[in-house]
Amino acid sequence: MEQNKKTIFSGMQPTGAITLGNYLGALKNWTTLQEEYNCLYCIVDMHAITVRQNPAELRKNARNLLIQYIAAGLDPTKNIIYYQSQVSGHAELGWILNCFTYMGELNRMTQFKDKSKKHADNINAGLYTYPALMAADILLFNTDLVPVGHDQKQHLELTRDIAMRFNTIYGDTFTIPDPYIGKVGAKIMDLQEPTNKMSKSAEDKNATILLTDKPDEILKKFKRAVTDNFANIKYDVENQPGISNLISIYSAITNKTYDEIENEFAGKGYGDFKVEVAQAVIETLKPIQQKYDELQKDKAYIDNIIKENTEKANYKAQKILRKVQKKIGFPPIIR
Ligand code: AMP
Ligand code: TRP
């Protein structure tokens, strides 16, 4: 890790196979940043348990997600890729930042409101204070930039507020992080209900494209994607959310602008367009899937990556954590 480069931190929850939304909204951008920045990409398993998880599945999902990070193009020698639960600084700073986060702020978080509705039988304190832990994830490494999808913007604003509050009281401690939200792909929608974001936890299997979906599944899902009766390939989220979503997927993959796509498909039917989008997605995912299958077979290699990266992350985390502990008045460690 080079001294003069800025730091990037981001993470995903290991709550199931990742979706095309996760890929286009976050992971794809991550792979373009690895040369220019010092990057840490975390598997946020501590966040995942704010919703009840099956232990064996959580463990499997966490490892699969780590392998997907690498398969998608994150070089594990250039990026620090690790499990949140294995770097105890997250929990320790998380507690501290809980004491600098107001209930009024947490009450406003839309993800909390959404998840409380969805899991009405388990509205636990962790779900509520989730944003303070997320702030700790980011601030623990003096992060400059956080590449996320649009849905995480509110959490990031809160992170900035918490950091500034702390700095005002104790003097310059934390770097104030900026969000990095891609221009296209930041909000990929559900294929069946295109006014909702595409989510790992969707009940309808046709609603989401998973990174591990086979070509015929991908084609089938796009063919079934909900559109409209306008028979016009036009980016118009208000009136044509389904078609607009397909355009934004196609744009994120091909780097073509919405205008270019509208011109290219002017006068063509939705059926043709859906097949084109599906093909583009299939081609993009093919090399990722091949790499994923190969990496799954190499247990020793993956284990070694986990071991080395966890050590690096712990080392960095401890440095900032000690600084914070000192500032707030915790006694020094006597060696
Ligand atoms: P999560 O699946 O909630 O852990 O999200 C991991 C990352 O993917 C975050 O940066 C999200 O903002 C991003 N993300 C999740 N769903 C979508 C989506 N439908 N469109 C774009 N980005 C997304
Ligand atoms: N809250 C994020 C999500 O649901 C995941 C996350 C946890 C995260 N900690 C983070 C993302 C820190 C970026 C930086 O997608």
Q: Map residue 180 onto helix, strand or coil.
A: strand
Question: What residue ranges line ligand 2, CB within 6 angstroms?
Answer: 9-13, 44, 47, 134, 137-138, 146, 148, 152, 155
* pLDDT class of 1 with cuts at 50, 70, 90: low
pLDDT tens-digit series, residues 122-181: 999 999 999 999 999 999 999 999 999 899 999 999 999 999 999 999 999 999 999 998
pLDDT, residue 201, reads: 83
Residue 115 annotated as catalytic: yes
Number of H helices, E strands in the chain: 14, 5
Residue 182 has pLDDT above 90, yes or no: no
Residue 197 annotated as catalytic: yes
Q: Which atom of ligand 2 is nearest to the CA of 12?
A: 5
pLDDT, residue 21, reads: 95
| CB-based burial, 85-121: b 16+ in 10 Å, e otherwise | bbbebbebbbebbbebbeeeebeebebbeebeeeeee
Cα separation of 88 and 292, whole Å? 28
CB contact at 8 A, 209 and 281: yes
Distance 221 CA to ligand 2 centre (A): 28
Residue nearest to atom 18 of ligand 1 (CA): 21
Query: What is the DSSP-derived secondary structure letter of residue 201?
Result: T
Give, in degrees to the nearest 5, the angle at Cα 48 between 47 and 50.
Answer: 75
Cα separation of 72 and 290, whole Å? 10
pLDDT tens-digit series, residues 21-59: 999 999 999 999 999 999 999 999 999 999 999 999 999
Distance of CA 240 to the CA centre of its chain: 27
Label residue 249 left, alpha or beta by phi (over 0 means left) and psi (-120 to 50 means alpha): alpha
pLDDT tens-digit series, residues 54-83: 999 999 999 999 999 999 999 999 999 999
pLDDT, residue 4, reads: 84
